[in-house]
Structure 1
Amino acid sequence: MKLGKFYFVNFLLLSGIFFGCSDDRTAGGVTDIGNSIAGRIYLADGETPAAHARIVAYEDSWKNSNIADSVETWSDSLGNFAFDNSAEKMQLLYASQNAENFLAASIQDSMKIILGNSKSLFGKIESEFSGSVRIVGTNLSAALNSDGEFSFDSIPAGNISLVFVKNSAPQSHFEFSANSAKEKISLPALKAFSESDSLLVFADASAYADTSLGISLSDAATAISVSLKSVPSETLRGFVLPVKFNNQIDFSLFAEPDSFKITDERGNDLSFEVDYWTPQASQGVLWVRLDSLLADCEKVNLYVIHSNDSKKSRAYLPADSILAALHLFGDEKFNSSSDTSKPFGFIGYGKKIHAGEFISLDSLNPFTHNFTLSLWAYWNGKNGHHQILFTKRASPDSLLFQWYYDTINSAFSIYNVAHWDSIPGAVSAVDTNSWKMLSLVSKNDSIAMFVNGEQIGEAISFPLYKILDDIPFLVGGNEVEEESWNGAFDEIRVVQKARSAEWLRLEYETQSAAKN
């Protein structure tokens, strides 16, 4: 669906305050139990600690009609405060002392909050003549008059999510910063971005040139909305989303990935890398790292912004326990100089494996703790030989780890020095002559195989053998020529953590949506 192109660098991009499914709402201290929220509060001068200030963490979002829950604490004499294991749904923070306050849109485990003075707010929703607007994280609400206008006498300083509510249901939202020294904020008229989207944007492009609003026309932004087939049941952090582009953007404007950047709804720059980018065919796939893919998220809204000073970094980060992420578009290390051919893979190009060939990951070693191995595999079927998925072996006769099709037992199997086992049901699930996402998860001395994001049978007791030898880690084959994989590979991943079933399901669904 083409959402259209519009030009803006408004509050949402300058101040980084858009709420969305890809928000980084919690930082590194987050655990599966809840948020570890701590920080320090200062008065408006940015230097004087706000002693004994009130701090409230709210469960609220623009999708709600009102606040669902809250917890409260107070800062100490030095302005320090902390919440221990607050619910993960607590995503907003309000702080106040006397007449100064602040509304934070992004909860982190270490925050610096500078209080400010409340503001009055005036605005208008174009072509709307009834309903109301509310400010997320507060009990503030204002009715629209017959001209679609609304006003608030006093809103907090900080990051504001303004929600248009009609027939008691949230319809759309607009995000902006109320951090300036102004006592009054007058927003230009707002309108729905499109009938099928929940964003509000400026109705009149001339408002973008109003420098008093801190807005310029120097960059071009195109909105991209990625709908999820099914919503996550848990929040996934550091999730890498493949985004397929065709007619959603102007490829003449965004011809070179080095000349644009990707941001989330709140204006935060997102790391991304290119699988393929073919402007002449108006096609491409980018892999975009989301700080958070929130539970119950239905879609991810992104912006592609023309920028000459954009800074690129890989989407698959070592900080996320990623040891290897190969797109097989020239980033693999192949052992053979023979003609391997580059058939179209599952996403972009893949690699056909011939007898005696394999992809080397050098001395990469995920076998010191929990791990996940994943790839897309096209299987031509049985050929009377073992067929390798992943292996670490010191020699043809010295096997340390192997995940493979076992021709003797007609089963997909796993092996290490201490153990061997087959995976019942995997052969029929993998099938032949079609692409399948295969994943192997080792967690707490058990191992499970997933096909297309679904676990095959029960997890198998499989004590981890900690391989410490500096030997090659190979994909698709080994030194035994006839044991190479009979088919093709694409999108190889090695992760030093046990991915959850929900993570693998979302990987399968989002990658399937970006397939060739």
Structure 2
Amino acid sequence: MKLSKNCFVSLFVILCGVWVSCSDDHRNAGGVTDIGNSIAGTVTLADGVTPAVAARVVAYADSWESAGILDSIETATDSLGRFTLDDVPREMQVLYVSKDAENYLARVVKDSVDYILGNSKSLTGSIAEQTMGKVRIVGTSLEAFLDSNGNFAFDAVPYGELSLVYVKDGASLAHYEFATSESDSAEMLLPPLAVSENGDSVLVIAEVPEGTAPDPADSLTVISVELSGAPMETLYGFVLPVKFNDKIDFEKFSDPAAFQVLSEDGAELNFEVDYWTPSASQGVLWVRLDSLPAGTQRVDLSLALREKPLAPQGAFLEADSVMASLHMNGDATIHAATDSDAAYGIIGYGATLSAGQYISLDSMNPCSGDFTLSVWALWNGDNGNHQILFAKRASWADSTLFQWYFEANSGVFAVYDVLHWDSLPGVSLKADSTQWKMLSLVSKNDSVSMFVNGKRVSEPIAFQPRELDMALPFRVGGNDVEDETWNGSLDEVRVVSKARSAEWLRLEYETQYAAKNLPD
């Protein structure tokens, strides 16, 4: 059973607005990196400066749907407060850190998070119209039974992000997400909580001791994104483009630095702006999802106002193997750029390159292992010249590490590395200056295949980019030969140092197409 949307909005706003400003006080900001199955970070004491030496760090496999902790792994910090946990299963999504009387509980393990410890607090509350059962805190052994009036109490709960679960007859009936603050008060009182007859959790708004709860309508807006096709596999670190238009009050949410994006469970999500134009009530945000479970048909997100401005932290992370992500909204370096380069793209702005121009990615090299290259393209067709999509080369004759391009002599899309040339069989891409297409090339286990609009259009062919002992520029849409510029427009460039699955590319295409500029 999941927390209903109305309950979550009210509860999260009350707790964040009164007790918490998690994103503003930086109690869990900057540093942990989830690299594959490893977590590494730094722990400091409550002063935010002193390293927490020999602090206990435990990752737990637990959730509100579980009866309790299923498994755990543990380590300790070194003399600088640093720690590493290796081989962490993805189901371990709760992290507990403690040093003497100070501690921190993180409800969801995230990228880029250091831990600043705090002090435990007492917690009291009640479940309306319930006289039996218990409540427990996910990621701990703490539980408290309800009395005859539905009241419960904890003498001490961890500092940090808490998930409180109401359990009756062995079943988890509701969960409530909130966070503790670093206020001087050692006591917390939750407003009365209730479970409706249909099983959805709801909040009975009541007086909160430390202030008046803000009106949820003034500080938080819920956005639902329908997926045209549910993923067939769970995708981790998927970045979802969300188009707003009239979905929100742009006067209220006029500055992306003034709000945060929250998951359905209340976790703050990384996001970045493609474009945001309050005067026209238009905008697109790219939101990173920690995970997108298989079978998901709808993603529920919330925008919540911050107490203090904080610039968006970015959605495309190095920890997710993303080497480059360009929205062509001023974030790209274009060789010999002019004002006429800017054009409308598939989402927001794109770029139309002229002869001799290209997008520079410096000396980036994704070709040392598996990789995925993607770009949205408008194509005006064959102009008698080769046309570059991506090239890692300094010159055609003797220093081409890798090139993906339209080969004019044969009229095919191909890959090339001086010693080896291969067409990509089965690719039939018609020139169309009005229809954007998402082009992707996936290299996996020394073979490559091409995708168009999220569908594989060529069988994998053996191709291993050769290694050259020299630094070579990496370019998009052109190279050192002036007339080999892409004949059309480009947008949404991605370079990833891993082979994306066919399911990832399908959903990437469908969600980006849904956020496009032009209507069907």
Class of the TM-score when normalised by the shorter of the 2 chains: 0.7 to 0.9
Distance 1:273 1:49, change over 3 A: closer
* Partner residue in 2 for 1:374: 374
Alignment pair present for 1:253 and 2:244: no
**Secondary structure at the counterpart of residue 10 of structure 1:** helix
Aligned to 2:94: 92
User: How has the CA–CA distance of structure 1 residues 202 and 297 changed in structure 2, closer, same or farther, with 3 Å as cutoff?
Assistant: farther
Structure 2 equivalent of residue 411 of structure 1: 412
- Alpha-carbon displacement from aligned partner over 1:349-401 (angstroms, at most 9, x marks no partner): 333456x3643316443255234321112335555654332235545766724
Contact 2:353–2:486 (CA<8 Å) still a contact in 1?
A: yes
SS of the equivalent of 2:349 reads coil
Look up the match of 1:274: 273
Structure 2: distance between partners of 1:362 and 1:31? 23
Residue 123 of structure 1 and its aligned partner are, at CA, apart by: 2.8
Closer, same or farther: CA 199–357 of 1 in aligned 2, 3 Å: farther
| 1:254–1:306 CA contact under 8 A, matched in 2 | no
Offset of 1:26 from its aligned partner? 10
**Alpha carbons of structure 1 residues 284 and 113: separation in structure 2 relative to 1, 3 Å:** closer
In the TM superposition, residue 285 of structure 1 has moved relative to its aligned partner by: 0.7
Q: What residue number does 2:326 align with? A: 326
Q: Which amino acid aligns with 1:459?
A: P
Q: How far apart, CA to CA, are the structure 1 residues paired with 2:360 and 2:99?
A: 56
Matched, 1:293 2:291: yes
Secondary structure of the structure 2 residue equivalent to 1:342: strand
Spell out, residue by residue over 1:404-441, the C-alpha distance to the aligned partner (whole angstroms, 9 max, x if none).
22344443211112311111222269998533221223
Q: Aligned in 2, Cα 1:69/1:467: closer, same or farther, shift over 3 Å?
A: same
Q: Is the 8 A contact 2:378 2:432 kept in 1?
A: no
| CA deviation after TM superposition for structure 1 residue 186, in Å | 1.9
Q: Secondary structure at the match of 2:428?
A: helix
Kept after mapping to 2: 8 A contact 1:58/1:92: yes
Residue 478 (structure 1) shift: 4.8
Query: Following TM superposition, by how much is the alpha carbon of 1:184 offset from its aligned partner in structure 2, in angstroms?
Result: 4.9
1:14 alignment partner, one of 14, 21, 32: 21
Instruction: State how far apart, in whole Å, the 2-side matches of 1:96 and 1:319 are.
Output: 26
Q: 1:337 to 1:181 in 2, by over 3 A?
A: closer
Partner of residue 70, structure 1: 71
- Going from structure 1 to structure 2, the CA distance change for 1:188 and 1:374 (only over 3 Å counts) comes to same
Cα distance in structure 1, aligned partners of 2:389 and 2:508:
19
Q: 1:129 to 1:468 in 2, by over 3 A?
A: farther
> Counterparts of 2:336 and 2:50 in 1: how far apart (Å)?
59
The CA deviation at 1:201 is: 6.0
- CA offsets 1:466-511 (integer angstroms, 9 cap, x no match): 4565665443345666654344321112345544555434433432
Q: Conserved in 2, the CA contact under 8 Å of 1:103 and 1:156? A: no
Q: How many Å apart are 1:161 and its aligned residue?
A: 0.4
Aligned to 2:425: 424
Q: Deviation at 1:278?
A: 2.1
Aligned in 2, Cα 1:309/1:82: closer, same or farther, shift over 3 Å?
A: closer
Worse-superposed segment, 159-168 or 93-102:
93-102
**Cα distance in 2, alignment partners of residues 255 and 338 from structure 1:** 27
Residue 362 to residue 514, structure 1, CA distance change in 2 (3 Å): closer
Q: State percent identity of aligned pairs.
A: 39
TM-score normalised to the size of structure 1?
0.72
What stretches of structure 2 of length at least 5 have no aligned partner?
A: none
Q: Offset of 1:162 from its aligned partner? A: 1.7
Aligned equivalents of 1:331, 1:82: Cα separation in 2: 34
What one-letter code is carried by the residue in structure 1 that aligns with 2:346? F
Q: Quick one: structure 1 residues 68 and 456, their matched pair in 2 at CA, closer, same or farther if it must change by over 3 Å? A: farther
Report the CA distance shift for 1:175/1:258 in structure 2 as closer, same or farther (over 3 A): closer
Tell whether the 8 Å contact from 2:381 to 2:431 is kept in structure 1 after alignment.
no
Q: 1:65-144 counterparts in 2 under 5 A?
A: 65-67=66-68, 69-71=70-72, 84-93=86-95, 103-107=105-109, 119-124=122-127, 133-138=135-140
The letter for the 2-side match of 1:328 is M
Q: Deviations over 1:272-309 (max 9, x none)?
A: 4332222233110122445x336559435343425563
What whole-Å deviation, never above 9, does each CA across 1:326-359 have from its counterpart, x for those lacking one? 222344426475956724x2212333456x3643
Deviation at 1:252, TM superposition (A): 1.2
The Cα shift of 1:224 comes to: 3.7
Question: Structure 1, unaligned stretches of length 5 or more?
Answer: 18-22
Describe the SS at the equivalent of 2:247.
Answer: coil
Q: How far apart, CA to CA, are the structure 2 residues paired with 1:508 and 1:425?
A: 20
Matched, 1:151 2:152: yes
Alignment of 1:504 onto 2:505? yes
Q: Counterpart in 2 of 1:189?
A: 192
Question: Per the alignment, do residues 192 and 505 of structure 1 end up closer, same or farther by CA in structure 2, a change over 3 Å counting?
Answer: farther
Partner residue, 2:309: 309
Please tell me the residue identity of whatever aligns with 1:293.
S
* Rounded Cα–Cα distance in structure 1 between residues aligned with 2:426 and 2:306: 49
The verdict on how the C-alpha distance between 1:190 and 1:105 changes in structure 2, with shifts beyond 3 A counting, is: same
Note if contact 2:35-2:319 (Cα within 8 Å) is conserved in structure 1: no
What SS does the corresponding residue of 1:347 show, helix, strand or coil?
Answer: coil
Number of the residue aligned with 1:493: 494
Cα 1:166/1:227, change in 2 over 3 Å: farther
Report what 1:448 is aligned to.
449
Question: Over residues 85-122 of structure 1, what are the superposed CA-to-partner deviations in whole Å (9 max), with x where a residue is unaligned?
Answer: 24221222457899998644245899868686673521
Residues 18, 210 of structure 2: 8 Å contact kept: no
The CA RMSD measured in Å over matched residues stands at 5.3
**2:77, 2:479 → 1: CA distance?**
62
* 1:243 maps to amino acid: V
Q: Secondary structure at the match of 2:87?
A: strand
C-alpha separation between the residues in 2 aligned to 1:475 and 1:211?
55
